[in-house]
Structure 1
Amino acid sequence: MTATVNQYLTLSWRGVVKIRRNPLVLADVVLGPAVFLVLFVYVFGGAIDGSTRDYLQYVLPGMIGLMTLLATMGVGVALNQDLRQGVFDRFRSLPMARSAPLVGAIGGDLVRQVVAIAALIGFGALLGFRFETNAWSVLAACGLAVAFAMAMSWVWVLLGLLLKDPQGVQGLGALVAFPLAFASNIFVQPETMPGWLRAFVQVNPVGHLMDAMRGLMLGGPVARPVLWTVLWMAGFVAIFAPLALTVYRRR
Protein backbone atom coordinates (compact mmCIF):
# COMPACT_ATOMS: atom_id res chain seq x y z
CA MET A 1 0.00 0.00 0.00
CA THR A 2 2.79 2.41 0.92
CA ALA A 3 4.64 1.56 -2.31
CA THR A 4 1.52 2.30 -4.36
CA VAL A 5 1.02 5.67 -2.67
CA ASN A 6 4.68 6.52 -3.36
CA GLN A 7 4.15 5.64 -7.00
CA TYR A 8 1.11 7.91 -7.16
CA LEU A 9 3.09 10.77 -5.62
CA THR A 10 6.10 10.20 -7.87
CA LEU A 11 4.06 10.31 -11.06
CA SER A 12 2.10 13.30 -9.78
CA TRP A 13 5.41 15.07 -9.22
CA ARG A 14 6.23 14.35 -12.86
CA GLY A 15 3.38 16.67 -13.81
CA VAL A 16 4.73 19.37 -11.51
CA VAL A 17 8.18 19.06 -13.07
CA LYS A 18 6.67 19.52 -16.52
CA ILE A 19 5.09 22.77 -15.33
CA ARG A 20 8.37 23.97 -13.82
CA ARG A 21 10.17 23.36 -17.11
CA ASN A 22 7.44 24.98 -19.19
CA PRO A 23 5.47 27.52 -17.11
CA LEU A 24 3.60 28.64 -20.24
CA VAL A 25 1.32 25.63 -19.82
CA LEU A 26 -0.35 27.66 -17.06
CA ALA A 27 -1.26 30.47 -19.46
CA ASP A 28 -4.58 28.95 -20.51
CA VAL A 29 -5.83 28.41 -16.95
CA VAL A 30 -4.55 31.78 -15.67
CA LEU A 31 -5.20 34.21 -18.53
CA GLY A 32 -8.23 32.51 -20.05
CA PRO A 33 -10.53 32.79 -17.01
CA ALA A 34 -9.39 36.38 -16.43
CA VAL A 35 -10.37 37.31 -19.99
CA PHE A 36 -13.73 35.54 -19.56
CA LEU A 37 -14.32 37.39 -16.30
CA VAL A 38 -13.64 40.82 -17.81
CA LEU A 39 -15.78 40.12 -20.87
CA PHE A 40 -18.78 38.79 -18.98
CA VAL A 41 -18.68 41.43 -16.23
CA TYR A 42 -18.15 44.50 -18.38
CA VAL A 43 -19.86 43.41 -21.62
CA PHE A 44 -22.83 41.44 -20.30
CA GLY A 45 -22.94 42.34 -16.61
CA GLY A 46 -24.94 45.53 -16.96
CA ALA A 47 -27.52 43.88 -19.21
CA ILE A 48 -27.84 40.76 -17.04
CA ASP A 49 -27.78 42.26 -13.55
CA GLY A 50 -28.07 46.01 -14.08
CA SER A 51 -24.80 46.59 -12.22
CA THR A 52 -21.35 45.35 -13.15
CA ARG A 53 -20.32 45.34 -9.48
CA ASP A 54 -23.28 43.20 -8.42
CA TYR A 55 -22.71 40.88 -11.34
CA LEU A 56 -19.04 40.52 -10.42
CA GLN A 57 -20.12 39.31 -6.98
CA TYR A 58 -22.39 36.74 -8.60
CA VAL A 59 -20.23 35.52 -11.46
CA LEU A 60 -16.75 35.18 -9.93
CA PRO A 61 -17.56 31.96 -8.01
CA GLY A 62 -19.09 30.74 -11.26
CA MET A 63 -15.90 31.55 -13.15
CA ILE A 64 -13.94 29.45 -10.67
CA GLY A 65 -16.29 26.57 -11.39
CA LEU A 66 -16.03 27.12 -15.14
CA MET A 67 -12.24 27.23 -14.95
CA THR A 68 -12.02 24.00 -12.96
CA LEU A 69 -14.35 22.30 -15.42
CA LEU A 70 -12.48 23.40 -18.55
CA ALA A 71 -9.00 23.01 -17.09
CA THR A 72 -9.60 19.34 -16.32
CA MET A 73 -9.79 18.65 -20.06
CA GLY A 74 -6.03 19.20 -20.10
CA VAL A 75 -5.60 15.94 -18.17
CA GLY A 76 -7.15 13.92 -20.98
CA VAL A 77 -5.22 15.79 -23.68
CA ALA A 78 -1.86 15.34 -21.91
CA LEU A 79 -2.62 11.68 -21.25
CA ASN A 80 -3.47 11.09 -24.89
CA GLN A 81 -0.23 12.77 -25.96
CA ASP A 82 1.78 10.55 -23.60
CA LEU A 83 0.10 7.47 -25.04
CA ARG A 84 0.89 8.53 -28.60
CA GLN A 85 4.53 9.23 -27.69
CA GLY A 86 5.01 5.84 -26.05
CA VAL A 87 5.52 7.16 -22.51
CA PHE A 88 2.96 4.73 -21.10
CA ASP A 89 4.70 1.82 -22.80
CA ARG A 90 7.68 2.63 -20.60
CA PHE A 91 5.44 2.81 -17.53
CA ARG A 92 4.08 -0.67 -18.32
CA SER A 93 7.59 -2.08 -18.24
CA LEU A 94 8.17 -0.76 -14.71
CA PRO A 95 7.13 -2.58 -11.51
CA MET A 96 4.31 -0.25 -10.52
CA ALA A 97 0.58 -0.35 -9.96
CA ARG A 98 -1.44 -0.21 -13.18
CA SER A 99 -3.46 2.67 -11.79
CA ALA A 100 -0.38 4.78 -10.92
CA PRO A 101 0.04 6.52 -14.33
CA LEU A 102 -3.63 7.53 -14.40
CA VAL A 103 -3.78 8.71 -10.81
CA GLY A 104 -0.45 10.48 -11.33
CA ALA A 105 -1.83 12.32 -14.36
CA ILE A 106 -4.72 13.64 -12.26
CA GLY A 107 -2.52 14.44 -9.28
CA GLY A 108 -0.09 16.38 -11.45
CA ASP A 109 -2.94 18.64 -12.54
CA LEU A 110 -3.55 19.71 -8.93
CA VAL A 111 -0.94 22.47 -9.15
CA ARG A 112 -2.60 23.95 -12.25
CA GLN A 113 -5.93 24.02 -10.48
CA VAL A 114 -4.59 25.70 -7.35
CA VAL A 115 -2.61 28.31 -9.29
CA ALA A 116 -5.58 29.07 -11.53
CA ILE A 117 -7.98 29.53 -8.60
CA ALA A 118 -5.54 31.76 -6.74
CA ALA A 119 -4.92 33.88 -9.85
CA LEU A 120 -8.63 34.25 -10.61
CA ILE A 121 -9.50 35.24 -7.04
CA GLY A 122 -6.64 37.76 -6.99
CA PHE A 123 -7.73 39.26 -10.29
CA GLY A 124 -11.34 39.39 -9.14
CA ALA A 125 -10.28 41.21 -5.97
CA LEU A 126 -8.55 43.83 -8.12
CA LEU A 127 -11.81 44.34 -10.01
CA GLY A 128 -13.72 44.82 -6.76
CA PHE A 129 -14.92 41.36 -5.71
CA ARG A 130 -15.31 40.94 -1.94
CA PHE A 131 -15.96 37.80 0.09
CA GLU A 132 -18.90 38.00 2.47
CA THR A 133 -17.95 35.06 4.68
CA ASN A 134 -14.83 34.09 6.64
CA ALA A 135 -11.48 32.76 5.45
CA TRP A 136 -12.28 29.16 6.41
CA SER A 137 -15.43 29.16 4.30
CA VAL A 138 -13.52 30.58 1.33
CA LEU A 139 -10.83 27.92 1.68
CA ALA A 140 -13.55 25.27 1.90
CA ALA A 141 -15.08 26.60 -1.34
CA CYS A 142 -11.71 26.47 -3.11
CA GLY A 143 -11.04 22.98 -1.76
CA LEU A 144 -14.45 21.81 -2.95
CA ALA A 145 -13.74 23.20 -6.43
CA VAL A 146 -10.39 21.40 -6.60
CA ALA A 147 -11.92 18.14 -5.34
CA PHE A 148 -14.68 18.40 -7.95
CA ALA A 149 -12.06 18.95 -10.65
CA MET A 150 -10.10 15.90 -9.53
CA ALA A 151 -13.22 13.73 -9.59
CA MET A 152 -14.34 15.12 -12.96
CA SER A 153 -10.86 14.45 -14.36
CA TRP A 154 -11.69 10.75 -14.58
CA VAL A 155 -14.14 11.57 -17.39
CA TRP A 156 -11.37 13.19 -19.43
CA VAL A 157 -8.93 10.40 -18.55
CA LEU A 158 -11.38 7.91 -20.05
CA LEU A 159 -11.75 10.05 -23.18
CA GLY A 160 -7.97 10.36 -23.43
CA LEU A 161 -7.66 6.58 -23.41
CA LEU A 162 -10.48 5.94 -25.88
CA LEU A 163 -9.80 8.56 -28.55
CA LYS A 164 -7.01 8.47 -31.09
CA ASP A 165 -5.61 12.00 -30.93
CA PRO A 166 -5.55 15.07 -28.66
CA GLN A 167 -7.77 17.04 -31.04
CA GLY A 168 -10.47 14.43 -30.64
CA VAL A 169 -10.21 14.66 -26.86
CA GLN A 170 -10.55 18.43 -27.00
CA GLY A 171 -13.46 18.31 -29.42
CA LEU A 172 -15.51 15.67 -27.62
CA GLY A 173 -14.52 17.11 -24.26
CA ALA A 174 -15.93 20.48 -25.29
CA LEU A 175 -19.20 18.80 -26.29
CA VAL A 176 -19.42 17.46 -22.74
CA ALA A 177 -18.12 20.50 -20.85
CA PHE A 178 -19.94 23.38 -22.54
CA PRO A 179 -23.51 22.13 -21.98
CA LEU A 180 -22.64 21.45 -18.33
CA ALA A 181 -21.15 24.94 -18.00
CA PHE A 182 -23.63 27.10 -19.89
CA ALA A 183 -26.78 25.15 -18.97
CA SER A 184 -26.15 25.94 -15.32
CA ASN A 185 -26.25 28.84 -12.90
CA ILE A 186 -22.67 29.91 -13.59
CA PHE A 187 -23.69 33.05 -15.49
CA VAL A 188 -27.37 33.68 -14.79
CA GLN A 189 -30.08 32.80 -12.30
CA PRO A 190 -31.98 29.65 -13.33
CA GLU A 191 -35.27 31.48 -12.73
CA THR A 192 -34.72 33.38 -15.99
CA MET A 193 -34.60 30.16 -18.04
CA PRO A 194 -37.47 28.23 -19.65
CA GLY A 195 -38.89 25.40 -17.58
CA TRP A 196 -37.31 22.51 -19.51
CA LEU A 197 -33.84 24.04 -19.21
CA ARG A 198 -34.37 24.96 -15.57
CA ALA A 199 -35.19 21.31 -14.87
CA PHE A 200 -31.81 20.31 -16.29
CA VAL A 201 -30.01 23.00 -14.29
CA GLN A 202 -31.52 21.63 -11.09
CA VAL A 203 -29.87 18.23 -11.64
CA ASN A 204 -26.68 19.55 -13.26
CA PRO A 205 -23.67 18.69 -11.03
CA VAL A 206 -22.07 22.02 -11.92
CA GLY A 207 -25.19 23.80 -10.63
CA HIS A 208 -24.86 22.09 -7.25
CA LEU A 209 -21.18 23.05 -7.13
CA MET A 210 -22.07 26.68 -7.86
CA ASP A 211 -24.71 26.77 -5.13
CA ALA A 212 -22.20 25.35 -2.66
CA MET A 213 -19.43 27.77 -3.63
CA ARG A 214 -21.66 30.83 -3.54
CA GLY A 215 -22.97 29.79 -0.15
CA LEU A 216 -19.43 29.37 1.18
CA MET A 217 -18.10 32.59 -0.38
CA LEU A 218 -21.08 34.92 -0.20
CA GLY A 219 -23.29 33.40 2.48
CA GLY A 220 -26.41 31.29 2.23
CA PRO A 221 -27.39 27.62 2.59
CA VAL A 222 -24.52 25.22 1.98
CA ALA A 223 -25.39 21.85 3.53
CA ARG A 224 -27.63 20.54 0.75
CA PRO A 225 -25.56 21.75 -2.25
CA VAL A 226 -22.33 20.52 -0.63
CA LEU A 227 -23.93 17.11 -0.04
CA TRP A 228 -25.10 16.88 -3.64
CA THR A 229 -21.70 17.96 -4.91
CA VAL A 230 -19.94 15.31 -2.83
CA LEU A 231 -22.38 12.67 -4.10
CA TRP A 232 -21.70 13.70 -7.69
CA MET A 233 -17.94 13.52 -7.09
CA ALA A 234 -18.29 10.03 -5.62
CA GLY A 235 -20.37 9.04 -8.64
CA PHE A 236 -17.79 10.31 -11.12
CA VAL A 237 -15.01 8.36 -9.40
CA ALA A 238 -17.10 5.21 -8.88
CA ILE A 239 -18.19 5.07 -12.53
CA PHE A 240 -15.38 6.53 -14.61
CA ALA A 241 -12.30 5.44 -12.64
CA PRO A 242 -13.00 1.68 -13.05
CA LEU A 243 -13.90 2.22 -16.71
CA ALA A 244 -10.65 4.11 -17.33
CA LEU A 245 -8.59 1.44 -15.57
CA THR A 246 -10.29 -1.30 -17.60
CA VAL A 247 -9.60 0.49 -20.89
CA TYR A 248 -6.00 1.17 -19.85
CA ARG A 249 -5.36 -2.51 -19.05
CA ARG A 250 -6.77 -3.58 -22.41
CA ARG A 251 -4.73 -1.17 -24.54
Structure 2
Amino acid sequence: MIAIAKASLRAAAFLTRLPPVAASFHGTHRLGDDAHAFPLAGLLAGAAPALALLAGGTLGLSPAVSATLALGLLVALTGALHEDGLADVADGLFGHHGRERALAIMKDSRIGAYGTLALVLSVALRIALLADLATAAPALAALALLGAAAASRGAMALFWASLPSADPGGLADSVGQPSRNRGLQGAVLGALLLGLAALPAGASGIAGALLGLGLTAALLSLFARFLLRRLGGQTGDGLGAAQQIGETACLLGLAIMV
Protein backbone atom coordinates (compact mmCIF):
# COMPACT_ATOMS: atom_id res chain seq x y z
CA MET A 1 0.00 0.00 0.00
CA ILE A 2 2.83 2.39 0.80
CA ALA A 3 4.48 1.69 -2.55
CA ILE A 4 1.33 2.39 -4.59
CA ALA A 5 0.65 5.53 -2.54
CA LYS A 6 4.12 6.85 -3.26
CA ALA A 7 3.79 5.95 -6.94
CA SER A 8 0.48 7.83 -7.05
CA LEU A 9 2.04 10.93 -5.50
CA ARG A 10 4.97 10.81 -7.93
CA ALA A 11 2.60 10.43 -10.87
CA ALA A 12 0.46 13.29 -9.60
CA ALA A 13 3.56 15.50 -9.33
CA PHE A 14 4.03 15.10 -13.10
CA LEU A 15 0.44 14.87 -14.33
CA THR A 16 -0.99 17.69 -12.20
CA ARG A 17 -0.06 21.03 -10.64
CA LEU A 18 -0.39 19.53 -7.17
CA PRO A 19 2.80 20.13 -5.17
CA PRO A 20 5.20 17.17 -5.09
CA VAL A 21 5.46 15.27 -1.82
CA ALA A 22 9.16 14.96 -1.03
CA ALA A 23 8.70 11.77 0.99
CA SER A 24 7.54 9.92 -2.14
CA PHE A 25 10.81 10.61 -3.97
CA HIS A 26 13.84 8.54 -3.03
CA GLY A 27 16.47 7.91 -5.66
CA THR A 28 15.68 8.01 -9.37
CA HIS A 29 12.17 7.24 -10.58
CA ARG A 30 11.03 6.97 -14.19
CA LEU A 31 7.49 8.18 -14.77
CA GLY A 32 6.81 5.08 -16.85
CA ASP A 33 7.48 2.88 -13.84
CA ASP A 34 4.61 4.62 -12.03
CA ALA A 35 2.13 4.20 -14.90
CA HIS A 36 0.12 1.63 -12.94
CA ALA A 37 -0.73 4.43 -10.48
CA PHE A 38 -1.96 6.92 -13.10
CA PRO A 39 -5.65 6.24 -12.24
CA LEU A 40 -5.01 7.16 -8.60
CA ALA A 41 -3.32 10.38 -9.73
CA GLY A 42 -6.51 10.99 -11.71
CA LEU A 43 -8.54 10.63 -8.53
CA LEU A 44 -6.30 13.17 -6.81
CA ALA A 45 -6.80 15.60 -9.68
CA GLY A 46 -10.55 15.02 -9.80
CA ALA A 47 -11.32 15.24 -6.08
CA ALA A 48 -11.68 19.02 -5.79
CA PRO A 49 -13.58 19.38 -9.12
CA ALA A 50 -15.99 16.63 -8.01
CA LEU A 51 -16.62 18.50 -4.76
CA ALA A 52 -17.16 21.71 -6.75
CA LEU A 53 -19.78 19.92 -8.85
CA LEU A 54 -21.57 18.81 -5.69
CA ALA A 55 -21.31 22.25 -4.13
CA GLY A 56 -22.77 23.88 -7.23
CA GLY A 57 -25.92 21.83 -6.92
CA THR A 58 -26.16 22.55 -3.20
CA LEU A 59 -25.83 26.29 -3.83
CA GLY A 60 -28.60 26.21 -6.40
CA LEU A 61 -26.41 26.72 -9.47
CA SER A 62 -27.60 25.23 -12.74
CA PRO A 63 -26.03 21.93 -13.89
CA ALA A 64 -24.33 23.76 -16.78
CA VAL A 65 -22.71 26.32 -14.50
CA SER A 66 -21.66 23.66 -11.98
CA ALA A 67 -20.18 21.50 -14.73
CA THR A 68 -18.30 24.46 -16.22
CA LEU A 69 -16.80 25.39 -12.85
CA ALA A 70 -15.84 21.78 -12.13
CA LEU A 71 -14.16 21.24 -15.49
CA GLY A 72 -12.40 24.60 -15.25
CA LEU A 73 -10.98 23.58 -11.89
CA LEU A 74 -9.88 20.22 -13.29
CA VAL A 75 -8.07 21.93 -16.16
CA ALA A 76 -6.40 24.32 -13.71
CA LEU A 77 -5.25 21.45 -11.47
CA THR A 78 -3.73 19.54 -14.39
CA GLY A 79 -2.21 22.64 -15.96
CA ALA A 80 -4.13 21.81 -19.16
CA LEU A 81 -1.44 19.18 -19.77
CA HIS A 82 -3.68 16.80 -21.70
CA GLU A 83 -5.66 19.56 -23.44
CA ASP A 84 -2.37 20.95 -24.74
CA GLY A 85 -1.54 17.52 -26.17
CA LEU A 86 -4.91 17.27 -27.89
CA ALA A 87 -4.49 20.71 -29.48
CA ASP A 88 -0.96 19.93 -30.67
CA VAL A 89 -2.04 16.63 -32.21
CA ALA A 90 -4.93 18.31 -34.01
CA ASP A 91 -2.67 21.04 -35.41
CA GLY A 92 0.09 18.66 -36.43
CA LEU A 93 -1.86 15.77 -37.88
CA PHE A 94 -5.06 17.19 -39.33
CA GLY A 95 -3.24 19.38 -41.85
CA HIS A 96 -1.90 16.50 -44.03
CA HIS A 97 1.71 17.39 -43.25
CA GLY A 98 4.56 14.92 -43.59
CA ARG A 99 5.94 13.19 -40.49
CA GLU A 100 8.81 15.58 -39.74
CA ARG A 101 6.75 18.70 -40.36
CA ALA A 102 3.91 17.32 -38.21
CA LEU A 103 6.29 16.65 -35.31
CA ALA A 104 7.71 20.17 -35.63
CA ILE A 105 4.21 21.69 -35.53
CA MET A 106 3.31 19.62 -32.48
CA LYS A 107 6.35 21.02 -30.64
CA ASP A 108 5.38 24.60 -31.51
CA SER A 109 3.74 26.40 -28.57
CA ARG A 110 1.44 28.35 -30.89
CA ILE A 111 -2.06 27.04 -31.55
CA GLY A 112 -3.79 26.91 -34.91
CA ALA A 113 -7.33 26.50 -36.15
CA TYR A 114 -7.40 22.71 -35.81
CA GLY A 115 -6.09 22.85 -32.26
CA THR A 116 -8.54 25.57 -31.28
CA LEU A 117 -11.49 23.63 -32.67
CA ALA A 118 -10.36 20.42 -30.95
CA LEU A 119 -10.13 22.20 -27.60
CA VAL A 120 -13.50 23.92 -27.97
CA LEU A 121 -15.22 20.66 -28.91
CA SER A 122 -13.52 18.66 -26.14
CA VAL A 123 -14.30 21.16 -23.39
CA ALA A 124 -17.84 21.85 -24.59
CA LEU A 125 -18.70 18.16 -24.90
CA ARG A 126 -17.37 17.27 -21.46
CA ILE A 127 -19.24 20.17 -19.87
CA ALA A 128 -22.45 19.11 -21.63
CA LEU A 129 -22.05 15.48 -20.55
CA LEU A 130 -21.35 16.42 -16.92
CA ALA A 131 -24.33 18.79 -16.98
CA ASP A 132 -26.52 15.99 -18.31
CA LEU A 133 -25.42 13.73 -15.48
CA ALA A 134 -25.79 16.52 -12.90
CA THR A 135 -29.36 17.07 -14.07
CA ALA A 136 -30.11 13.51 -12.98
CA ALA A 137 -28.13 13.85 -9.73
CA PRO A 138 -25.15 16.06 -8.79
CA ALA A 139 -23.64 13.19 -6.79
CA LEU A 140 -23.77 10.96 -9.85
CA ALA A 141 -22.02 13.59 -11.96
CA ALA A 142 -19.32 14.01 -9.30
CA LEU A 143 -18.68 10.26 -9.21
CA ALA A 144 -18.66 10.14 -13.02
CA LEU A 145 -16.02 12.88 -13.11
CA LEU A 146 -13.84 10.91 -10.68
CA GLY A 147 -14.33 7.63 -12.52
CA ALA A 148 -13.60 9.13 -15.92
CA ALA A 149 -10.50 10.92 -14.60
CA ALA A 150 -9.17 7.61 -13.29
CA ALA A 151 -10.16 5.35 -16.20
CA SER A 152 -8.86 7.72 -18.88
CA ARG A 153 -5.45 7.92 -17.24
CA GLY A 154 -5.34 4.15 -16.90
CA ALA A 155 -6.15 3.87 -20.59
CA MET A 156 -3.41 6.40 -21.32
CA ALA A 157 -0.91 4.23 -19.43
CA LEU A 158 -1.76 1.19 -21.57
CA PHE A 159 -1.74 3.31 -24.73
CA TRP A 160 1.75 4.52 -23.85
CA ALA A 161 2.99 1.01 -23.15
CA SER A 162 1.53 -0.38 -26.38
CA LEU A 163 3.07 1.92 -29.00
CA PRO A 164 6.69 2.62 -29.93
CA SER A 165 8.05 6.13 -29.52
CA ALA A 166 7.74 8.30 -32.62
CA ASP A 167 9.98 10.98 -31.13
CA PRO A 168 13.17 9.56 -29.56
CA GLY A 169 14.40 12.00 -26.96
CA GLY A 170 10.99 13.67 -26.71
CA LEU A 171 9.11 14.14 -23.46
CA ALA A 172 7.32 10.78 -23.39
CA ASP A 173 10.48 8.97 -24.43
CA SER A 174 12.72 10.76 -21.94
CA VAL A 175 10.69 9.82 -18.87
CA GLY A 176 10.76 6.10 -19.62
CA GLN A 177 8.09 4.11 -21.46
CA PRO A 178 6.19 1.78 -19.10
CA SER A 179 6.29 -1.96 -19.52
CA ARG A 180 3.27 -3.69 -20.99
CA ASN A 181 2.52 -5.12 -17.54
CA ARG A 182 2.55 -1.68 -15.92
CA GLY A 183 0.26 -0.36 -18.63
CA LEU A 184 -2.19 -3.22 -18.18
CA GLN A 185 -2.21 -2.73 -14.41
CA GLY A 186 -3.06 0.93 -14.90
CA ALA A 187 -5.85 0.17 -17.37
CA VAL A 188 -7.40 -2.49 -15.13
CA LEU A 189 -7.24 -0.26 -12.05
CA GLY A 190 -8.82 2.62 -13.97
CA ALA A 191 -11.62 0.38 -15.23
CA LEU A 192 -12.31 -0.89 -11.71
CA LEU A 193 -12.46 2.64 -10.33
CA LEU A 194 -14.89 3.68 -13.07
CA GLY A 195 -17.06 0.68 -12.21
CA LEU A 196 -17.01 1.59 -8.52
CA ALA A 197 -17.94 5.18 -9.34
CA ALA A 198 -20.89 3.96 -11.41
CA LEU A 199 -22.07 1.39 -8.86
CA PRO A 200 -24.41 3.73 -6.91
CA ALA A 201 -26.44 4.23 -10.10
CA GLY A 202 -27.24 0.50 -10.16
CA ALA A 203 -27.51 -1.60 -13.30
CA SER A 204 -27.69 1.42 -15.58
CA GLY A 205 -24.51 2.80 -14.04
CA ILE A 206 -22.61 -0.45 -14.61
CA ALA A 207 -23.94 -0.57 -18.17
CA GLY A 208 -22.77 3.01 -18.65
CA ALA A 209 -19.31 2.20 -17.32
CA LEU A 210 -19.03 -0.81 -19.63
CA LEU A 211 -20.20 1.27 -22.59
CA GLY A 212 -17.71 4.01 -21.70
CA LEU A 213 -14.86 1.50 -21.48
CA GLY A 214 -15.91 -0.07 -24.77
CA LEU A 215 -15.98 3.32 -26.48
CA THR A 216 -12.60 4.17 -25.01
CA ALA A 217 -11.07 0.92 -26.28
CA ALA A 218 -12.55 1.35 -29.76
CA LEU A 219 -11.60 5.02 -30.14
CA LEU A 220 -8.08 4.58 -28.80
CA SER A 221 -7.54 1.59 -31.08
CA LEU A 222 -8.43 3.78 -34.05
CA PHE A 223 -6.27 6.60 -32.71
CA ALA A 224 -3.32 4.23 -32.26
CA ARG A 225 -3.59 3.13 -35.89
CA PHE A 226 -3.76 6.77 -36.94
CA LEU A 227 -0.60 7.66 -35.01
CA LEU A 228 1.25 4.61 -36.32
CA ARG A 229 0.35 5.51 -39.88
CA ARG A 230 1.17 9.21 -39.60
CA LEU A 231 4.09 9.25 -37.12
CA GLY A 232 5.17 5.66 -36.55
CA GLY A 233 4.19 5.68 -32.87
CA GLN A 234 3.24 7.79 -29.87
CA THR A 235 4.48 11.11 -28.52
CA GLY A 236 3.78 13.01 -25.33
CA ASP A 237 1.15 15.03 -27.16
CA GLY A 238 -0.42 11.82 -28.44
CA LEU A 239 -0.69 10.53 -24.87
CA GLY A 240 -2.45 13.72 -23.80
CA ALA A 241 -4.89 13.38 -26.67
CA ALA A 242 -5.50 9.74 -25.72
CA GLN A 243 -6.44 10.81 -22.19
CA GLN A 244 -8.89 13.38 -23.54
CA ILE A 245 -10.47 10.82 -25.84
CA GLY A 246 -10.81 8.33 -22.99
CA GLU A 247 -12.29 10.83 -20.54
CA THR A 248 -14.89 11.99 -23.05
CA ALA A 249 -15.76 8.43 -24.02
CA CYS A 250 -16.27 7.37 -20.38
CA LEU A 251 -18.55 10.34 -19.68
CA LEU A 252 -20.46 9.68 -22.89
CA GLY A 253 -21.09 6.04 -21.98
CA LEU A 254 -22.39 7.01 -18.55
CA ALA A 255 -24.55 9.83 -19.90
CA ILE A 256 -26.15 7.53 -22.48
CA MET A 257 -27.05 4.75 -20.06
CA VAL A 258 -27.80 6.55 -16.78
- Relative to the length of structure 1, the TM-score reads 0.37
- Relative to the length of structure 2, the TM-score reads 0.36
Which structure's CA Rg is the greater one?
A: 1
